[in-house]
Structure 1
Amino acid sequence: MEGHMKKFLNEFKAFALRGNVMDMAVGVIIGAAFQAIVTSLTNDVISPFIGLFGKTDFSSMVLTIRGVDIRYGAFITSVINFIIMAFIIFMLVKVLNKLSSLGHKDAPAAPDTKECPYCCSKISVKAVRCPNCTSQLS
C-alpha cells in the first residue's frame, strides 16, 4: 500500500513540475491579479465617467420586485468588465503571435519552373519535353 502511495506522489510531482503546468499556474495567478485591475478600472473610472453623461451610476441601478432586489447595474458593470478583459486578452494574444512570428521566416516555396538545358527557356518542373525546342528532358 505504501509503495502505491509513493508511486502516486512521484507521478503527481512529475506532473505538477512539468513546464506547461507551471506556466498555466503563473498565468492563472497573473490573470486573477489583472482581473482586479480591470474591475477597479470599470468600477472606479468607467462607470462614474459614463455616469457623467448618462446621469446615472450603474452600481445604483436596482429593480425591486416583491421585496427582492435585482441589481442589474452590477450585471452591466460585470459585462463591461468582461468586454474590457476580452479585448485586452485579444490584444495581448495578437501581440504575442506577432512577436513569435518575427523570428520565424516561412520556408521558400519550391520553384514551379525550371530552365531547359538546351534552349534556356523557362518551362514547368513537371515537363519531360521542352515545349519550345521539343528536346527530351531527363
Structure 2
Amino acid sequence: MIKEFRDFIAKGNVMDLAVGIIIGAAFTAIVNSLVADIINPIIGLIIGGVDFSNLYYVMSGTVPEGAGLQTAKDSGAAVFAYGSFITAIINFLIIAFVVFLLVKAVNSIKDRAMRKGEEVPSAPKGPTQEELLTDIRNILASGNSNVPPANAASPTMPAE
C-alpha cells in the first residue's frame, strides 16, 4: 500500500497538479487585489461611487444607517450581501479571462514548437542519377533502343 501511494505521488501529473494548486493560490491573491483595489473602484467611479463590497440588504434585525457590511454582520442582523457576490462574479470573470489568455499562449507556443520540429515535405523521390545512368548504359549495351529501362520508377525513353 505504501509502495502504491509512493508510485501515485511520483507520477508527473500529481506533481503538476500540486504546482498548479500552489500557483493558483498565489494567483488568487493577485486577482483579489486587482479586483478590490483597482477594478471595483473604477467601476464604482463610473456608476457613481458605489463600493460593491459594502452593498447588502438587511433581511432581519437592525443595523445603524450607513453601516458597512462588516458592521451589519457584527450586529447579528441577517444580511444579504449581494455586493460580495458581485465581487465574486467579477473575480471569476477576470480569472477565467486570464486563464484563457494563458492557455492560448501555451497552445501558440506548442504550435510553433510543433511546426519547427516538423520536416518540410520534399518532392516525391524519383530515380537517382546513378539509376538513370545505369538504365541508359543497359539500353546502349543491349543495342535495342526499344528496351524499357530496368528501373520501373525511371521514365522510359522514346523510341527512335
Q: TM-score normalised to the size of structure 1?
A: 0.70
Distance 2:97 2:119 in 1: 33
Distance 2:46 2:23 in 1: 33
User: Are 1:99 and 2:109 counterparts?
Assistant: yes
Query: Which of 53, 57, 60 is matched with 1:66 structurally?
Result: 60
Q: Measure how far apart 1:33 and its partner are.
A: 0.7
Q: TM-score normalised to the size of structure 2?
A: 0.61
Ranges of 4+ aligned residues in structure 1 off by more than 4 Å: 106-109
Number of equivalent positions: 111
Q: Measure how far apart 1:108 and its partner are.
A: 6.6
Letter in 1 for 2:5: F
Distance 2:100 2:30 in 1: 17
Aligned to 1:9: 2
Distance 1:99 1:64 in 2: 51
Query: Which of 29, 36, 39 is matched with 2:32 structurally?
Result: 39
Alignment of 1:84-95 (within 5 A): 84-95=94-105
User: Are 1:80 and 2:73 counterparts?
Assistant: no
Identity value in percent: 47
Distance 1:87 1:54 in 2: 23
Distance 2:56 2:37 in 1: 19
Aligned to 2:44: 51
Letter in 1 for 2:90: I
Aligned to 1:22: 15
Q: Secondary structure at the match of 1:16?
A: helix
Distance 1:102 1:90 in 2: 18
> Structure with the greater relative contact order (CA < 8 A, sep ≥ 6): 1 or 2?
2
Instruction: For structure 2, list consecutive stretches of 5 or more residues without a partner in the other structure.
Output: 62-77, 124-154
Letter in 2 for 1:29: I
When Rg is computed on C-alpha atoms for both structures, the one with the higher figure is 2
Distance 1:60 1:54 in 2: 15
Instruction: For structure 1, list consecutive stretches of 5 or more residues without a partner in the other structure.
Output: 1-7, 112-116, 119-138
Distance 1:73 1:98 in 2: 38
Distance 1:64 1:107 in 2: 68
Q: Deviations along 1:11-58, whole A, 9 cap, x unmatched? A: 101110111110110011101110111011101111111111212110
